[in-house]
Amino acid sequence: MKIAIILGTRPEIIKMSPVIRSCSDHSIDYSVIHTGQHYSYEMDRIFFHELELHNATYNLEVGSGTHGAQTARMLTGLEQILIDDPHDAVLVQGDTNTVLSGALAASKLGIPVGHVEAGLRSYDRSMPEEINRIVADHISDYLFAPTETAAGNLRREGRPDSGIFITGNTVVDAVSQNLSIAQRDTSIFSKLSVERGGYVLVTAHRQENVDRWENLSGILKGLRLVRDEFGVTVLYPVHPRAKKMIEQFNLQVPDNIRLLEPLGYFEFLLLEASARLVLTDSGGIQEECCILKTPCVTMRKNTERPETVDVGGNILAGTDPEAILSCAKVMDHAPRTWENPFGDGRAGERVIKHLKEILPDQRRTVPRS
């Protein structure tokens, strides 16, 4: 059995790292195909090294671009690799253009597709990620749902039970495996002159937030209100996209907000684990905060991770400044006693176990173009 693991963004590398490790543990032949969706592979090479993973087998270096142009470059490159180097299955993870391209290229070639983190829904089709995850779910053969909620979404859309597997979320595996690596070097706290629990951590990068003046300006005003109310340092590692739009919109960042260059994964994970509060629009960070027992305020009106809200680890604020402050106050007083809804940290192992059970019976009958 030979598996192609297709990824293209740093969150995908993080969440696929437990699957890659499980392949190695089970002596399964695999290739890692890096599309280079957000960064060049050369920039991500250190990321593989830090996560103690082998380098990618292939890299496409597609770079940024419009959704159509980027997806087209990925489809062309992935198709050629999968033709030249046959695989018995393809795994994709999440909701990016890489996921859409990988699932579509493999499906067109008759190669079974497994979607890791299947079944997530925000029910907001103005989000490109929602389109990607829906299409990927409906052309994938094996749907590795992280929770019963996600599996229920798939069943309601007519996906057959025989192809749905509840595995837990690989983010739990990744956090538990990688936090121990990150704790080997805790110098980030002294570098930033902050104490554990003495700061608020912020991320904002989603297209629907940073590309809209009213949303981005609302977030910045909300951060100022939180800083004034809490009296603590607010750390904002600013995403290149957000930085560009702040400048383009000629927005003023409040003096009491510390803008940082993007941090390494381990540095960010340490800060996230020890923050008083996290404000974000990232789905993955909602999950990580829930696992780490760090209170989270999501600066969106919806989430494809409703489990985080249901257990009390997250609250939806939108981008209105007063709502951000109000929700921050609520979560600052929330007891950190919620249960982690995303599994026991063995999701990567379950994904590979299911593939080992399924593929020997099915791969011989799958047509190839």
CB atoms within 10 A of CB 189: 16
**pLDDT tens per residue across span 19-57:** 999 999 999 999 999 999 876 666 677 788 888 899 999
Instruction: Identify the helix (H) or strand (E) that includes residue 54.
Output: none
The answer to whether 246 touches 223, Cβ cutoff 8 Å, is no
| pLDDT grade for 64, boundaries at 50, 70 and 90 | confident
AA letter at 33? I
Residue type, 219: I
pLDDT tens-digit series, residues 261-281? 988 889 999 999 999 999 999
List pLDDT tens digits, range 145-163: 999 999 999 999 999 999 9
> Quick one: tokens of 209?
């937030």
Backbone dihedral angles phi then psi of residue 223, each to the nearest 5 degrees: -65, -40
Give the pLDDT confidence score for residue 45 in this predicted structure.
79
pLDDT band of 366, cuts 50, 70, 90 = very low
pLDDT in tens, 301-330: 999 999 999 999 999 999 999 999 999 999
Closest CA to 354 of 165, 126, 115: 165
Assign residue 261 a region (left: φ > 0; alpha: ψ between -120 and 50; beta: otherwise): beta
For residue 58, pLDDT over 80 is answered with: yes
Catalytic residues: 205
Can you give the pLDDT at residue 40? Answer: 64
**Rounded average pLDDT over 102-125:** 97
Look at residue 236 and give its three-state secondary structure: strand
Query: ∠229-230-231 over CA atoms, to 5°?
Result: 100
Q: What is the pLDDT of residue 256?
A: 84
Torsion, CA 326, CA 332, CA 334, CA 335, rounded to 10: 180
Mean pLDDT, rounded, for 132-142: 98
Expressed in percent and rounded to 5, the helix, strand and coil fractions of the chain are 50, 15, 35
Task: Tell me what pLDDT residue 308 has.
Answer: 98
Residue 84 has pLDDT above 80, yes or no: yes
When pLDDT is averaged across residues 344-356 and rounded to a whole number, the result is: 97
Confidence bin at 368 (pLDDT 50/70/90) = very low
pTM: 0.91
Neighbours of 72 (CB within 10 A): 14
**Per-chain mean pLDDT for the chain:** 94
Q: Which helix (H) or strand (E) holds 85?
A: none
Q: Report all structural domains of the chain as residue ranges with CATH numbers, in order of start.
A: 2-169+344-365 (3.40.50.2000), 185-332 (3.40.50.2000)
Confidence (pLDDT) at 365: 39
